[in-house]
Structure 1
Amino acid sequence: MLQAIGLTSTPRRNRPPAVDDLTFEARPGQVTALLGPAGSGKSTALRLMLGLEQGRGVTYFRGRPLHRVAHPMREVGVLLGDVPGHPARTVRGQLRMLCAAAGVPASRADDLLDAVGLEALADQRLGALSRGMDRRLGLAAALLGDPHTLVLDEPARGISPDEAAWLYGVLRTHAAAGGTVLYTTTDTKAAARTADHVVAIRSGRLVADQDAAAFARTRLRPRVAVRTPHAARLAAQLAREARAARRTVETVTERGNRLYVYGSDCAEVGETAFRHGILLHRLVEETGPAPEPSRTAPPGPGGTAHDPQARAALQTPPTGHTATPAGQASLRADHTTPAVGHAAPLTDHATPLADHPVRPTGDPAPPTTYVAPATIHAAPPSGHETPPPTTHAAPPSDHETPPPTTPADRQASTSRSPATEGTRGLHTATPRRRRRRVRRGPSRPLRYELRRLMGVPSTALALGGTVAGSALLAVLLGRSAGTPAPVAVAAWPELLPLPPAALGAGLIGALAFGDEYRYPALSTSLGAAPRRLGLLLAKLAVTAVTALLLAVVVAVVDLEVLRLVYGGALIPVPRNWAALCVSWSALVVGCAWAGLLAAGVFRAAAAGIAAVLAVPVLIAPAVEGALFGPAVRTVAGLPARVRELAWPRWPQEADRWLDGALRVLAQPVGAALALSLTALLCAFLLTGLRRDARW
């Protein structure tokens, strides 16, 4: 069960809070719709519940707040808007990266791709996905941890009716298996048709909290939806004929060419339009929200209500009109096919759960079983062959027992409407959950960071470009006889503040945190955030290894290119090669870490690159002027003196490496880099680092 108690967002300047003392609950085994118009605070309420936004109130997921849940992705699956992923990453790569963050095997990604019908698009880039495929991928990401609760923010917005029917079918299946489902919507009819319970809010406050049947009975009325270029003229004719016949007919004009008629039917409206020569583009009988009493005038001259915002889903029908429950409205006439984006007529919980035919009214519904969320087989995208249906038996979870289904659920599972034809492939199975082992320990952030780093082509482009640019500069520098060999191998001319290897490493480090904030894949993972200590250590380790490999590859390639072009005799091996290797490695790794920490502090990759360039351009001259001069004492012989005092004793060969490190720090760039890393690390720790044993 999901319980939200006293949710209140932080007040905005000179404006009331978006959510004000909101309290409701979503029960297991039911689909709960959080209904409200645009700007009513639905999305803010979800973010408050998930701890993604500051505010007051508490939310319990099966009796525990989210921060006390050991494995949040196993408790809550989240879909907030579009899939937050790098557009150049593949669909399979995105899911496998999230599998590493969730601590589940990578094979789970392939299972879910097959479940949501994206196996044919597994190698497709995220930036090339359509809106419907993006929703399927988002749902697969929400189901990675096999969660008990699904929280979705307007999941059907912007997708086709078939895709929406498929998605609502998956939600119904998850609830039937004992899970809890909460989604937001602005569509009143969709809420009444697809949800078991409706929580309506307006301006951040609770307006109604009732089951779907009671909501439809008290908040919806049968009406005739008309689309015509002469909406005002037709409304006037309907009002005139209703006044002559002493009948009550109410009309609401919306968006200029849409007309909703209450108190009439398709036959009467169609005959009126025919008699007066009014062209109709759409004529259908449906169930929709009642008109606002304050904006609906009584029959008479000028009695037509022209309100472009007349979608009052939360108003009680006026006295004297019989409200029709959800699923009772019948389609009397539909002269044209409704355009995409318009809701289909309200049907009896049109949920795509089974391929059984609709039974006649009064016949007992046969017992129906449901498929677990991990074993859903959905219709693939258009143009691909439907995968063969399979079922998987899963052992029951240690704490999850699905409640018995209600008669309404059984009736919903056996009904089928034209809107659900796009959901073929969903098959029934025993409602048992699969217990999945969640990996713990330091390997989770390391595996995540490796998949994040290698899953986009920008990493290979940055590394390849760095090696090629360094080799070209090395050849140009080698032409001059006065260029020292180390300078030529490092490809570090005086015109550049840093060698290409250091700049490339800084770019890799800056992207490590910059992509986390630009494409926040972890923001909805709940168990992992960019400011976790474990994730920081993993990024430091992976970035350091990548920078070291880059330094070695650049040095080897530059040396071989110089030998190939100018001959090996011109490239002698210096005596202090050990100190040069330490200096070179420290410079490249330090620049990579500077870019990483700066991007983490300022939450932008550009800030990381700027911090790397600021080391030789701004900080090094200041350090050189403040710390270095003719009166400064030398630290020669320090490694030997430290070795005499240290315990345990290290071998004398280590003195050369320590002496090389000291020589690096003695350089202005080395001292400036060490100072920058210290300041950036302190800033990162002081700006909200969160400790978590899971990461």
Structure 2
Amino acid sequence: MPTGDVLAEARDLRRAFGGRTVLDGVSLTLRAGEVTGFVGANGAGKTTTIRLMLGLARGEGESLFLGRPLNAWGAPGRIVGAVLGGIAGHPKHRVRAHLRMVAAGCGAPDARVDELLETVGLAGAAGLRLSQLSLGMAQRVGIAQALLGNPPVLVLDEPANGLDPHAIRWLRDFLRAQAAEGRAVMVSSHLLGEMEQLADRVVVLSRGRVAAASPVADLLSRVSTRSVVTVQTPDLPRLERLVRERGGRLQPVGGPSAHITGLDRVRVSALAAEGGVPLHWLSEESPSLEDFYLSIAEEEFSIS
């Protein structure tokens, strides 16, 4: 399918437990050739959203995969592959045998198992029992299992949990490669910094509601206006006047140092040069995607 085609979508998902609203009108789309990061703090409702989308929990709203509900497809494993944490297999079963059993259920040949074991780098571990796998190896087996039916949609719930940096990098590169093949990939995570490197688009979930949904670059451009410039100068009063005239704000932080908001470091540098203000230090710190999420969460809390 062409890149950008909508392969899966959730519409107005709602869910309540014991009178407490867990999801409140969550909608999102997954597009071919893109990694969609589904981010939010633990308890924001990410797993519940995924379970509703896959038909593993009850709630309101609808989810469509290739234009149809998942239960309308005769072989759901050929439409969407999911990694929801852990491997649903007997601990004594060996990796290859486990995957062959799952493959039989979705109509995939045994050769597909060996192909995927090579793809995820576990050909040498095919004879291990599931109970012998490290966390990183188990995650790779789960991904291989999800891909057995060669589905166009791949959904992973917190796949980086507990992984070491090497395993996280492998996972990031692997998922980018899956999107490059035309799949729609959805990854939920509370590690927002990781999404800056992995995702094309981000859906930010806060307290059961979608707080933002856009390309990562757009979100980062929104937070870049909140960057903080740190300066050191022997003439803070004159620099403060110049900054204020250009719509910025200077906040002294002790001695010759100050923080400036509302202007980036290039504009501050130009102002100082034009006004004859010597600068002994100039640096800029831009907020991250995590900073953006925290600001959204605080805003929601203040209006709840």
**What is the TM-score when the length of structure 2 is the normalising length?**
0.76
- Tell me which protein shows more strand as a share of its residues: 2
Q: 1:242 to 1:46 in 2, by over 3 A?
A: same
- Aligned 1:202-281 pairs, distance under 5 A: 202-219=206-223, 242-245=253-256, 247-248=258-259
Equivalent in the alignment of 1:86: 90
Equivalent in the alignment of 1:126: 130
**2 CA distance for matches of 1:89 and 1:104?**
19
**2 CA distance for matches of 1:181 and 1:107?**
24
| 1:12 shift after superposition | 1.4
Number of residue-to-residue matches in the alignment: 250
Equivalent in the alignment of 1:147: 151
Equivalent in the alignment of 2:17: 12
| 1:314 shift after superposition | 3.5
| 1:70 shift after superposition | 2.3
Q: Secondary structure at the match of 1:20?
A: strand
- Tell me which protein shows more helix as a share of its residues: 1
Tell me if the contact between 2:223 and 2:287 (Cα under 8 Å) persists in the aligned partners. no
Equivalent in the alignment of 1:571: none
Structure 1 gaps, min length 5:
224-239, 251-262, 265-284, 293-310, 317-695
- Aligned 1:62-141 pairs, distance under 5 A: 62-141=66-145
Note the alpha carbon deviations across 1:204-230, whole angstroms, 9 max, x for none. Answer: 10100110101122246778xxxxxxx
Equivalent in the alignment of 2:9: 3
Note the alpha carbon deviations across 1:418-446, whole angstroms, 9 max, x for none. Answer: xxxxxxxxxxxxxxxxxxxxxxxxxxxxx
Q: Secondary structure at the match of 2:108?
A: coil
Q: What one-letter code is carried by the residue in structure 2 that aligns with 1:247?
A: A
Q: 1:85 to 1:290 in 2, by over 3 A?
A: closer
Note the alpha carbon deviations across 1:381-401, whole angstroms, 9 max, x for none. Answer: xxxxxxxxxxxxxxxxxxxxx
- Aligned 1:515-594 pairs, distance under 5 A: none
Does 1:170 pair with 2:181?
A: no
Note the alpha carbon deviations across 1:280-321, whole angstroms, 9 max, x for none. Answer: xxxxx88634758xxxxxxxxxxxxxxxxxx716379xxxxx
- Aligned 1:416-565 pairs, distance under 5 A: none
**1 CA distance for matches of 2:26 and 2:147?**
27
**1 CA distance for matches of 2:45 and 2:290?**
22
Q: Secondary structure at the match of 2:96?
A: helix
| 1:98 shift after superposition | 0.3
Note the alpha carbon deviations across 1:366-410, whole angstroms, 9 max, x for none. Answer: xxxxxxxxxxxxxxxxxxxxxxxxxxxxxxxxxxxxxxxxxxxxx
Q: 1:30 to 1:142 in 2, by over 3 A?
A: same
**2 CA distance for matches of 1:18 and 1:51?**
16
Equivalent in the alignment of 1:44: 48
Q: Secondary structure at the match of 1:314?
A: helix
Q: 1:82 to 1:286 in 2, by over 3 A?
A: farther
**1 CA distance for matches of 2:253 and 2:33?**
46
Note the alpha carbon deviations across 1:30-58, whole angstroms, 9 max, x for none. Answer: 11011111100000000000000011111
| 1:19 shift after superposition | 1.2
Q: 1:219 to 1:90 in 2, by over 3 A?
A: farther
Identity percentage over the alignment? 37
Tell me if the contact between 1:34 and 1:200 (Cα under 8 Å) persists in the aligned partners. yes
Equivalent in the alignment of 1:531: none
Does 1:60 pair with 2:60?
A: no
**2 CA distance for matches of 1:39 and 1:87?**
29
**1 CA distance for matches of 2:137 and 2:213?**
32
Equivalent in the alignment of 2:235: none
Q: Secondary structure at the match of 2:27?
A: strand
| 1:111 shift after superposition | 1.2
| 1:193 shift after superposition | 1.6
Tell me if the contact between 2:252 and 2:259 (Cα under 8 Å) persists in the aligned partners. no
**1 CA distance for matches of 2:223 and 2:105?**
43
Q: 1:196 to 1:213 in 2, by over 3 A?
A: same
- Aligned 1:625-664 pairs, distance under 5 A: none
Q: 1:115 to 1:34 in 2, by over 3 A?
A: same
What's the RMSD between the two structures over aligned residues? 2.7
| 1:247 shift after superposition | 1.3
**2 CA distance for matches of 1:166 and 1:290?**
22
| 1:243 shift after superposition | 3.3
Q: What one-letter code is carried by the residue in structure 2 that aligns with 1:105?
A: P
Give the number of the structure whose alpha-carbon radius of gyration is greater. Answer: 1
Q: Secondary structure at the match of 1:17?
A: strand
Equivalent in the alignment of 1:288: 288
**1 CA distance for matches of 2:134 and 2:295?**
30
Instruction: Flag as ranges the 4+ runs of structure 1 deviating above 2 A.
Output: 219-223, 240-246, 285-292, 313-316
